[in-house]
Amino acid sequence: MNENRKNKIFGVPPPLFSRYGLKAGIERSDEEIRVDLVRALSSHTRLDPSEIIIEVRNGVITLSGVVNSEDERMIAEHEALRTTGVVDVHNELQTRQK
């Protein structure tokens, strides 16, 4: 099969972007992704990121630890999804019991 054709489905080239972030073109290291997310979470006014643990492997972010509310949990996930280079996000954050 023609190499050009093999990489296309119904004549459409594969996307340059994944569902959440950059997939091809400019590659970013896991550490660059982690640093960007730490900055984004630290500067967010409606979130206390002090107990959030961020792990990045092959562009997949895993969020773990504890946050104060479901809103904070969702804000952290949203910021992770917005980070350039992210392929997927696993949100394992727990909400603090009041």
pTM of the shown model: 0.74
Produce one character per residue of 19-57: b if its CB has 16 or more CB atoms within 10 Å, e if not. Answer: ebbbbeeeebeeeebeebbeebbeeeeebebeebebebe
Total of domains in the chain: 1
Positions in the chain whose pLDDT score sits under 70:
1-26, 98
Note the pLDDT of residue 71. Answer: 94
pLDDT at 26: 60
Looking at residue 98, what is its pLDDT?
65
pLDDT digits (tens, 9 = 90+) for 11-30: 444 444 444 444 444 678 99
